[in-house]
């Protein structure tokens, strides 16, 4: 049985890719805003992170480039874009449910309206990102090998608005 993306017509798939790109950009923006807020609430104490504030900052030296590279991968329809969409959406949902649990057990952090709105927005956009990913990512159920259109190992950069290879200079 074909997956969701295989039944979406090409023009609609382009629209779905634009939607996935915008949702990813919103999700990343909310995640970064939450992490700024998390520094204010000393989230490293909440999760008992060894190394405290220094480890928290060091973790973000890895996280922020991952999010930005993911934005580029999705914009260019790189073959890793599905992985970035999925990892970012699952991380956002994990954070949302973690904070929901912490509030339910009585933790006092992240109870200000803007903090809660950012966490709620992150949960909603992460869920929407999973739905958008299902519409964008082709599901191949055939085990038959298909010849690569540009030769083995060649993965041209594609424009997410047209699905055509981007032409280089010259």
% of the chain at pLDDT higher than 90:
54
pLDDT of residue 134: 84
pLDDT of residue 161: 52
pLDDT of residue 151: 45
Q: What does residue 165 show for φ and ψ, rounded to 5 degrees?
A: -60, 140
Closest to 94 in 3D by CA, of 111, 119, 115, 58 = 119
pLDDT of residue 40: 93
Closest to 29 in 3D by CA, of 64, 1, 72 = 64
In order along its 170 residues, the chain shows pLDDT tens digits of 455 555 445 556 678 788 889 999 999 999 999 999 999 999 999 899 999 999 999 999 999 999 999 999 988 888 888 899 999 999 999 999 999 999 899 888 888 999 999 999 999 999 999 998 887 776 654 444 444 444 444 445 555 555 555 555 55
pLDDT of residue 148: 44
Residues recorded for the chain: 170
- The average confidence (pLDDT) of the chain is 81
pLDDT of residue 76: 86
Contacts of 92 (CB under 8 A, 6+ apart): 27, 30, 31, 122, 123, 125, 126, 129
pLDDT of residue 139: 61
């Amino acid at each position: 049985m074909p997956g969701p993306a295989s039944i979406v017509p090409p023009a609609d798939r382009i629209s779905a890719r634009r939607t996935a790109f915008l949702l990813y950009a919103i999700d990343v923006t909310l995640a970064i805003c939450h992490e700024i807020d998390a520094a204010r609430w000393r989230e490293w104490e909440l999760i008992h992170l060894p190394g405290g504030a220094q480890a928290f900052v060091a973790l973000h030296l890895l996280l922020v480039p991952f999010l930005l590279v993911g934005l580029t991968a999705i914009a260019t329809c790189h073959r890793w874009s599905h992985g970035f969409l999925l990892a970012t959406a699952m991380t956002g949902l994990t954070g949302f449910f973690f904070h929901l649990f912490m509030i339910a057990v009585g933790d006092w952090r992240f109870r200000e309206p803007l903090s809660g709105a950012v966490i709620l927005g992150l949960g909603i956009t992460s869920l929407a990102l999973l739905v958008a990913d299902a519409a964008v990512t082709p599901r191949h159920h055939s085990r038959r090998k298909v010849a690569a259109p540009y030769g083995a190992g060649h993965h041209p950069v594609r424009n997410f608005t047209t699905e055509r290879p981007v032409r280089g200079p010259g």
